[in-house]
Structure 1
Amino acid sequence: MNIENFLNELLSKGLKLWVKEDKLKYEGTKEVITNELLNTLKKYKLDIIKYFKERLEPKEAFPLSLGQQALWYQHQIAPESPAYNISCLFTLQPDLDIKRLKECFKILFKRHPILRTTYKAKEGICLQQIQQDTETNLNLYIIDTSEWTDEYLNDWIKQESHAPFDLEQSPVRIKLLTRYSAAKNSILSFVFHHIACDYWSLKIFIDELCSLYESNMTISLPYSSFQYKDYVEWHQKMLTGEEAKKSENYWLKQLSGELTALEGLTDHPRPRIRTYCGKIQTFDVDADLSNSLQTTPYVIFLTAYMILLHRYTGKNDIIVGSPFLGRTKSDFDKIFGYFINPVVLRADFSENPSVYEMINEINNTVLSAFKYQDYPFQLLIEKLNFIREPSISPVYQVSFGLEKIPEELKKTTLNKIEKGKLILNYLKSEQLGAAFELDLLIIQNDDNSFKAAWKYNNNLFEDETIRRMNGHFQTILKSIISYPKKKISEINILTQEEKQKIYEWNDTKADYPKDKTIVDLFEEQVQKTPDAIAVIFEESELTYKKLNEKSNQLAHYLINNGVCADVLVGICVERSLEMIISLLGILKAGGAYVPIDPTYPKERIDFMISDSNASIVLTKNKIKEILLNEYSLDNPKIKISPENLAYVIYTSGSTGTPKGVMISNKSLSNHMFWMQNKLPFTSEDIVFQKTLFSFDASIWEYWAALISGAKLLLASPESHKDIDHLVETINTKQITILQVVPSLFQLFLEHPKFKEAVSLKRIFCGGEHLPEEIKDKFYKIGIDAKLYNLYGPTEATIDAACYHCDKDKTVSIGKPISNTQIYILDKDLNYVPIGVPGEIYIGGDGLARGYLNRPDLTKERFIETSFGRLYK
């Protein structure tokens, strides 16, 4: 007789057979247990008992399941990692019967051979071997802790929960700490390696432990004729069948196309070699799922999670892994072991679907994944020819799961298992291992409330980021439940607190006389300090009165030659007194100046003159000639509108044809009033004007000085390239205000005499990123000056934000200047959360009118939004 076929036939009829204490036991209905069957069982009893013993205790090593192979592979890469440790900690009552508890463990280790399994590689292939059922292999340790302090216990728990396994010895550690504290409580610690256990197995273990202890080992536990070896064999056989081929085809189609890593989610870049350092944070979920959107909580939470990832990263192709139970046959329900098979869930956001559409898509994806879940993920990686990278997990880097609280926990509290005489109280222990970069586990309680447990690699994420991420997740969850017809791009992600913070950050409103221009402010200063020195250039200088008179002469000439509001006048002059006179004179005439560097190539100069349609181009000789004529020294009696242009500056053209950026008088005045209020210059200041006038950073250097009574010292032409000359000038001329690009500032800091620049009060960096090392180097040299980082494109009038660099803080672009707003938005013009990459959009009084002669580009870059007009 073929014993295996005979037993399978009985099993199909509902008859269960098992061996207990070398006796054959059976259970079934009267219809199945006939006299004929009893005679057959009696006849072959010894053969059946022998068969069971050989099946339950295979003497030969057998292969790992494909899921175990993946865990073995990870263990070889990072054997010290606790990422795949399952730890459980309980306190037990003082009257615990330790002897009885130990006997219960003996039964469990005999009942579940995988608890006695070891894992060894032979010729590159790992096999698992069940060890004998002896007390040596019980892996139970009883420790007297009556002398332990709380601090020592906490350290022990942390170390025990996360200590690595030597899988050649055992995949399990069970330790009982007795007589702890004055209450004489015991503490029970289970630690399993995932290769031998999943959370379903843990439930089996705890359930059976409680039942055995309660019955004093008299109860007959539900019997299973299958063991983990049978599952491995079944799975291998299944993979050769037609259903496996269908599953394979489904998954290969589902994962066709490019599978790129999820970028833009983490705070820190991935290290070259993947790490498994982890933490966990758990939050209550504040959401009403009573209106379930015709789907399951799993799908709703997964949809919210995928939307979160989409909005954080900007990626339309979102791939998430999810651990499926893997126990697709009822025969596997009572088997202890690792059955989990991760499935890959993919969502496409490229068409900006509605919430309903996205939920339906994800629901269908989940149903299909459930149908084809038996196909192993490990084999799928091989079929995809996926090249493993040491820095990331293959195919997906983030995971999602939903878990219901086991029945045992529903009887009392969520932190307690009470079954007769055995009371297990959960003890929380810190989780240090993370198998993925980010893993969200939703825990569903008996009352249909939920918790969100975020496990994350803390080498990649800051704790605060995860707290914010949870807030965004819950905001999304509420939005999709309340507004299922909305498009995904319309879903709110920010919390109310963050919205308020952005509002306050951009609440930069500051009153200033909008009817006043730079000309008005300068002329007011002339009245205050007519005889003070305004401009110094080499051996020459002009007082405020003299500068005003000469610029008036030029203004009258320009007015006589047709210059008025919005008429552009070119200036092709090297740095000199004539440059300042011409800038001021054009503004006094009501026109707008176009600075043209005389060192530019002829083709660029010709382009700028032609494109600007400049009615007049002033040169140094032309200006001198005009000033020799007897034009009026009085201020022109014309009304200059704040809305009219002050200047047009051409961009460098590094990304194409140079563009003329049109800036109004109002925008310029707003910037100058901000500087006067926040960074006031005085008559004691000497401003070093060395920036080329064709760059807008130069603009505040002269106007901030000339409207505040300060001295403006002009660097000699080409001297901005001579670091020795610049440092000498700063020291000998007692410069107080300096603006410099970070790359040049680096050279200043390396110059041996720069540390003598004790006259400096303020140093402004802009035009480039200011590295931390430059800031740190500045503070080390000991100059008692304040360092500022300025940020802003030409299109936002010189600067849009300013940051006072703190010695002990990271450099940032700071906060918006007065009447300026800076938003970080995604492609759909939604706020992005703090710490999430987005595009900078600038609004407010500093915005340029647009690009000269480029209405198409103006429309593209200066857009109308719900925030108002913004530059992107």
Structure 2
Amino acid sequence: MARARRSHAQQYAGGALAEFVCGGAQDCGRVRQPCQQRTDRARGAPTRLTESMQNSAVEGFRLSPQQRSLWSLQQTAEGQPFRALSVILLEGDLKPDVLQRAVQHLVSRHEILRTTFSRPPGIKTLFQVVGETSQFSWETVDLSSLDVTEQRLRIAEYFAVESERPFDFDQGPLLRAKLVKQSSDSHVLLVSLPALCGDSVSLANFSSELSRAYPSCLNQHELSGEPMQYADFAEWQNEQLGADDVHVLTGKTHWQKREAASVPGPAILLGRRVAGTGAFEPDSIAVDLDSPLSEIEAMAREREISVSALLFACWQALLWRLAGQTESEFVLYNLCAGRKFADLQNALGLYAKYLPIRLHCEDKSVDEHLRQVSDALKEADEWQEYFDPCTSANTISDSVAFDFEERQSRYGADPVSFSVIRQYVCFSPFKLKLSCVRSGEAISVELHYNRQVFDRAAVKQIAGYFQRFLSSVLQNSEVDLGAIEILDDDERRRLLVEFNQTAADLPGGKGIHQLFEDQVARTPKAIAVVSGDQELTYDELNVRANQLAHLLRRRGIGPDARVGLCVERSVETIVGLMGILKAGGAYVPLNPDHPRDRLALQLTESNSSILISNNGATNNQPFESTETIDLCSDRAFLEAQPNTNPASITQAGNLVYVIHTSGSTGIPKGVAVRHRNLINYTQFILQRLQINRPLSFATVSTISADLGNTCIFPALVSGGCLHILGYDVAMEGDLLRDYFTRRPIDVLKIVPSHFSALLASQTDGRILPAKYLILGGEAFSWDLARRIRLMDHPCQIINHYGPTETTVGSLTFSVDTENLSRYSSTVPIGRPIANTRCYILDQRRRPVPLGISGELYIGGAGVTAGYLNQSAETAARFVPDPFSSDPESRLYRTGDLARYLPDGNIEFLGRADTQVKVRGYRVELGEIEAALSSRAGVRQVVVTVFRDKSADERVVAYMVSSPVSPDELRASLKQKLPDYMVPSAFVFLKSLPLTPNGKVDRNALPAPDETRPGLQSDFVAPRSFVEKELAGIWASFLKVSAVGVHDNFFDLGGHSLLATQVVSRMRKEFHLEIPLRSLFESPTVAQLAEKIEEANSNEAERFLNEIEALSEEDARQLLGQEGTTSV
């Protein structure tokens, strides 16, 4: 035992083990005889059970921590995947009966080989029960009549069958041996045990001891010495982990600080994104190393580290790379043999366990990384006996591991040699594990994986990366980890070239308005645009746009001049934007619903000297230094202008529009889009939709975002009819259904969350377009795709992705199959559109492997001119294209994390920063934080998006400030920000949680509670039946515990999409036709209840008057009819 003592902790552990086994401290030189009576040492639980089972004496003992952890995993696993198997080649003059006696001898020497596991009557605790009789399963098979190939196939079949054959843990026997005769001097012994009874070293010890027991039995001798019994070791471990000794407490504290459950394993996205069934289905592949063991040993010697540490370090660094270099810290499990003490070296049983190695990962040099890993492994080894595997049993299935073993493959010589030709051990359900075995002067490497998480092709891919990574490390240890190339030439070419074959012809030199004018010449009398009761033909639209264009020309508008466009949804929307484009200018779309201060800022930032409006969309309040032209009130003046097409002065490189997106500094960013960007996108949509006849397009979104451009321009340059749907129609499923019934629509572009809300009231498919449903603006779930498909409608579903900076959309995916749903958690965003290139790059802007997370960069014809008046931000986001020979070529850094799927489609994974999407709107949380921080008394603020159990997303602000009411904050923010950016909840904290690096720990922010948020109005409980029903409906959708009658729906966190669902529920509950606008006009329970009660009262009075005027028979018929009332 003294050889194992290297520290105070080890001295304590070693001494305790020897004293425990010997029963005292006087003589530690030998252990007790097998089945010798143990002393009960229970700490609150029985350690020993003795009873008679079928006339055999048995002893029951507590499971070891390793066994308890494994038994827990076994209870939730399908089948029995945890086992230990060994195939031993026996060469020489073998006598099978002697070999059987030799196995019998080993069973009598090692209690664990005759142990079963059971719960005696009345006892819930599982015990390991040691039987007196040396029972085991023995079988012989003669294959000597078969050729060598057939023999190998049969043996492989036996191995496969045995690897799935269930064990009877209660009755046993658990040791099974099958002897296969190949020839007179060649046999194979297949040995099988449940992992509860043995680990890899146990199998090696079994082979070694069997090679010595065979000649002993042949010569009728017995092996000398008594082995350590596993039950004794298990008791010692239980005693130790339950002790309150200072060394034990120190050891347990060591592991608590490195608690694996608090730090995830590396998020490797290769293969399947979502596990198939959650089951553990182990498999493995061999890894052929390009580097010989001698080179690995040489480098390890130079760095004064072990070969194991070197290989572990390479595996850990590769995992960091495969996790997209986004994990700053993760846990990797390392196999510990658990045999630090000399008495355990030749013992049998489950001594091994995996220790969690928690490491901080960053782009550092190989040498520095090797030192840190070696130190971490040594430290873990020092404290190994104090780690309880049960603490990680719940998280280990989503973890990655490493093991390194040194094995002797050949034992004995005369008269029979024993050679281990195959060995398999599994006692932990890791999703991925690199297993290295050194045998003599050779090293073999395997990758073990869960088939429910990884495909075999993906694991082979990882194997190739490890080969290249290790080779690179051996060649140059001074290079940084992030600089090591792991792609081969074929994969690099596939990622950079093959996935970006998108070249297509473009109309040269024209502006988008000229393509419209060409269409006017072809179909002047066709309806171009419809909005409510208004219709304009192509000729009428062209004339009105020309009149505005001539006026703007006289006002000095020309190429790249910006003109504000703030109009309500109407035909004037298209008149305004087309008139601006014909004048040569660029339109700056503004949302009339946004705060006036925000609109003024956008006009100033874009340097717009003229504003186009309609029907007082700006409340007839002029903006300073901006001339306003109202398309309705100034109609007579506009009609006096020439109606011919102005001579075009626009080039393809001139600006077509400037759209403002949320800015992290608090100032919206104006994205400058050129004509050639928009023309490329428009032409692609025409080709993608295979438009060979005019189609009807519907747009339901504001033009202040570019979502609607998918329909606006393709419709107007192809002879289609553009339907601009009013707010009520766009937001209410019933009204949209009626509209589609009256005016069939071929193409609809909509945000997924918006469409999902509409489906809450419409499930029969009548709100689906005839040909194409295009979803974009946010992640599209497979669940929504399935809900749409269940409507059995023939329209094609297209997922569309693209930031404003790359012109509306850059990738598309046709949802015609769910084959990829097992690989991706959301519907893929697809492949790049025409003349567009997409790259998924790491932090060094190099391509990441197929299936690995990286940042999505977009290049090509859609990349815009950047941000107006924000050169630093433009330079940061629009970067030189390292893969282009054109020095002017730029890539846009989207900030989105993505990965390539096996077929070349791209999956969106989330954001690399704090930008979020709220109901399709792009929101920089920093802009909200800046607005809150500008208030006096606010010391700290962080804004995040909280996703509740129903997957609804809410903007939540966490603040450290002097006392202030949420109502005051909302009112202040509504003067600066659009409604969708105003937080639905404010959480006040004494301090913000911080990471060890001093940054705000967003993951540690508490969830907003579901009580009624702080409002200025006092809580008044519902009084009438209608108020109680309304309050209950609102509370269920708003996720609050109570709603007062004077509480404002929108101050409680309600928004437009939620309003559509709430109104739909109210209609069903009250059997009333309640328009959506009623909730906006009467946003409190009391106000809305009054309207509902008034409608019911009016209906009742009308109904009674009608009955009085009828005959008795007619009245009886009327009373039998059902109907609804309108509010």
Q: TM-score range with shorter-chain normalisation?
A: 0.7 to 0.9
Q: Given that residues 306 and 318 in structure 1 are in contact (C-alpha distance below 8 angstroms), is that contact kept between their aligned partners in structure 2?
A: no
Change (3 A) 1:552 1:323: same
Q: Given that residues 596 and 605 in structure 1 are in contact (C-alpha distance below 8 angstroms), is that contact kept between their aligned partners in structure 2?
A: yes
* DSSP 3-state at the match of 2:38: coil
Q: Distance in 2 between matches of 1:307 and 1:776?
A: 39
User: Which residue of the other structure, out of 748, 753, 769, is the alignment partner of 2:779?
Assistant: 769
The alignment status of 1:563 with 2:557, answered yes or no, reads yes
The alignment status of 1:391 with 2:414, answered yes or no, reads no
The alignment status of 1:817 with 2:825, answered yes or no, reads no
The alignment status of 1:284 with 2:284, answered yes or no, reads no
Any idea what the Cα deviations from partners look like across 1:403-440, whole Å, max 9, x if unmatched? Answer: 3442418xxxxxxx9975567785788x8864434322
Q: Distance in 1 between matches of 2:734 and 2:400?
A: 55
Q: Distance in 1 between matches of 2:184 and 2:539?
A: 91
Q: Distance in 1 between matches of 2:114 and 2:749?
A: 72
Bigger mean CA deviation after superposition, 336-345 or 355-364? 336-345
**CA shift for structure 1 position 800:** 1.3
* DSSP 3-state at the match of 1:574: coil
The alignment status of 1:792 with 2:792, answered yes or no, reads no
One-letter code aligned to 1:623: L
Q: Given that residues 80 and 163 in structure 1 are in contact (C-alpha distance below 8 angstroms), is that contact kept between their aligned partners in structure 2?
A: no
Q: Distance in 2 between matches of 1:427 and 1:289?
A: 20
Structure 2 unaligned spans of 5+: 2-28, 42-46, 48-60, 144-149, 616-629, 822-826, 884-889, 895-1127
Residue aligning to 1:110: 108
Residue aligning to 1:68: 64
TM-score normalised according to structure 1 size: 0.79
Residue aligning to 2:138: 141
Any idea what the Cα deviations from partners look like across 1:835-859, whole Å, max 9, x if unmatched? Answer: 4344333333322323334444434
Bigger mean CA deviation after superposition, 674-683 or 86-95? 86-95
Residue aligning to 1:34: none
The alignment status of 1:721 with 2:737, answered yes or no, reads no
Q: Distance in 2 between matches of 1:476 and 1:816?
A: 30
Change (3 A) 1:776 1:184: farther
* DSSP 3-state at the match of 1:191: strand
Q: Given that residues 847 and 871 in structure 1 are in contact (C-alpha distance below 8 angstroms), is that contact kept between their aligned partners in structure 2?
A: no
* DSSP 3-state at the match of 1:203: helix
Q: Distance in 2 between matches of 1:738 and 1:643?
A: 30
Change (3 A) 1:763 1:419: farther
Q: Distance in 2 between matches of 1:402 and 1:221?
A: 34
* DSSP 3-state at the match of 2:786: helix
Q: Distance in 2 between matches of 1:840 and 1:388?
A: 38
The alignment status of 1:679 with 2:679, answered yes or no, reads no
* DSSP 3-state at the match of 2:309: helix
Q: Distance in 2 between matches of 1:54 and 1:714?
A: 90
The alignment status of 1:335 with 2:347, answered yes or no, reads yes
Q: Distance in 1 between matches of 2:88 and 2:265?
A: 38
Any idea what the Cα deviations from partners look like across 1:655-684, whole Å, max 9, x if unmatched? Answer: 955432221222112211222333343443
User: Which residue of the other structure, out of 851, 865, 871, is the alignment partner of 1:849?
Assistant: 865
Residue aligning to 1:869: 891
**CA shift for structure 1 position 77:** 5.4
Residue aligning to 2:321: 311
Q: Given that residues 135 and 173 in structure 2 are in contact (C-alpha distance below 8 angstroms), is that contact kept between their aligned partners in structure 1?
A: no
Change (3 A) 1:605 1:200: closer
Residue aligning to 2:501: 507
Change (3 A) 1:705 1:78: same
Residue aligning to 1:587: 581
Any idea what the Cα deviations from partners look like across 1:77-119, whole Å, max 9, x if unmatched? Answer: 5357545421224587999643222112122223434433456
Structure 1 unaligned spans of 5+: 5-50, 382-386, 410-416
Q: Given that residues 343 and 373 in structure 1 are in contact (C-alpha distance below 8 angstroms), is that contact kept between their aligned partners in structure 2?
A: no
Q: Distance in 2 between matches of 1:137 and 1:222?
A: 16
Q: Distance in 2 between matches of 1:269 and 1:788?
A: 21
Higher relative contact order (CA 8 A, sep 6+): 1
The alignment status of 1:59 with 2:37, answered yes or no, reads yes
Residue aligning to 1:10: none
One-letter code aligned to 1:403: E
Q: Given that residues 549 and 634 in structure 1 are in contact (C-alpha distance below 8 angstroms), is that contact kept between their aligned partners in structure 2?
A: yes
Residue aligning to 2:207: 206
Structural RMSD (CA): 4.5
Change (3 A) 1:162 1:513: same
* DSSP 3-state at the match of 1:551: helix
**CA shift for structure 1 position 355:** 1.0
Change (3 A) 1:687 1:91: same
Residue aligning to 1:100: 98
5 Å-filtered alignment, 1:399-798, equals 399-408=401-410, 420-421=415-416, 426=421, 434-448=428-442, 450-503=443-496, 504-620=498-614, 622-624=630-632, 625=634, 628-651=638-661, 657-716=667-726, 718-746=728-756, 755=765, 760-798=770-808
One-letter code aligned to 2:603: I
Q: Distance in 1 between matches of 2:347 and 2:195?
A: 14
Q: Given that residues 495 and 847 in structure 2 are in contact (C-alpha distance below 8 angstroms), is that contact kept between their aligned partners in structure 1?
A: no
Q: Given that residues 565 and 576 in structure 2 are in contact (C-alpha distance below 8 angstroms), is that contact kept between their aligned partners in structure 1?
A: yes
Bigger mean CA deviation after superposition, 211-220 or 571-580? 211-220
**CA shift for structure 1 position 358:** 0.9
One-letter code aligned to 2:366: V
Change (3 A) 1:514 1:336: same
Any idea what the Cα deviations from partners look like across 1:528-580, whole Å, max 9, x if unmatched? Answer: 44444433444554443443333222212111111122221111222333221
One-letter code aligned to 1:70: Q
One-letter code aligned to 2:207: I
One-letter code aligned to 2:108: K
5 Å-filtered alignment, 1:361-400, equals 361-370=372-381, 372=382, 375-378=385-388, 388=391, 391-393=394-396, 397-400=399-402
**CA shift for structure 1 position 256:** 8.7
Q: Given that residues 82 and 426 in structure 2 are in contact (C-alpha distance below 8 angstroms), is that contact kept between their aligned partners in structure 1?
A: no
Residue aligning to 2:176: 174
Q: Given that residues 548 and 638 in structure 2 are in contact (C-alpha distance below 8 angstroms), is that contact kept between their aligned partners in structure 1?
A: no
The alignment status of 1:264 with 2:267, answered yes or no, reads yes
Change (3 A) 1:301 1:546: same
Any idea what the Cα deviations from partners look like across 1:154-203, whole Å, max 9, x if unmatched? Answer: 887556434565666568412336789x9999764322244443322322
Q: Distance in 2 between matches of 1:719 and 1:361?
A: 63
Q: Distance in 1 between matches of 2:830 and 2:475?
A: 37
Residue aligning to 1:20: none
One-letter code aligned to 2:864: A
Residue aligning to 2:74: 78
Q: Distance in 2 between matches of 1:175 and 1:839?
A: 54
The alignment status of 1:357 with 2:368, answered yes or no, reads yes
Q: Given that residues 211 and 419 in structure 1 are in contact (C-alpha distance below 8 angstroms), is that contact kept between their aligned partners in structure 2?
A: no
One-letter code aligned to 2:337: L
Bigger mean CA deviation after superposition, 206-215 or 657-666? 206-215
State the aligned residue count.
800
Change (3 A) 1:62 1:582: same
One-letter code aligned to 2:581: L
Change (3 A) 1:694 1:54: closer
Q: Distance in 2 between matches of 1:205 and 1:389?
A: 29
Bigger mean CA deviation after superposition, 339-348 or 641-650? 339-348
Q: Distance in 2 between matches of 1:425 and 1:298?
A: 22
Q: Distance in 1 between matches of 2:85 and 2:234?
A: 25
**CA shift for structure 1 position 823:** 3.0
**CA shift for structure 1 position 616:** 0.5
* DSSP 3-state at the match of 1:78: helix
* DSSP 3-state at the match of 1:663: strand
Bigger mean CA deviation after superposition, 724-733 or 335-344? 335-344
**CA shift for structure 1 position 653:** 7.4
Bigger mean CA deviation after superposition, 247-256 or 686-695? 247-256
Change (3 A) 1:159 1:568: same
* DSSP 3-state at the match of 2:64: helix
Bigger mean CA deviation after superposition, 151-160 or 96-105? 151-160
Bigger mean CA deviation after superposition, 536-545 or 593-602? 536-545
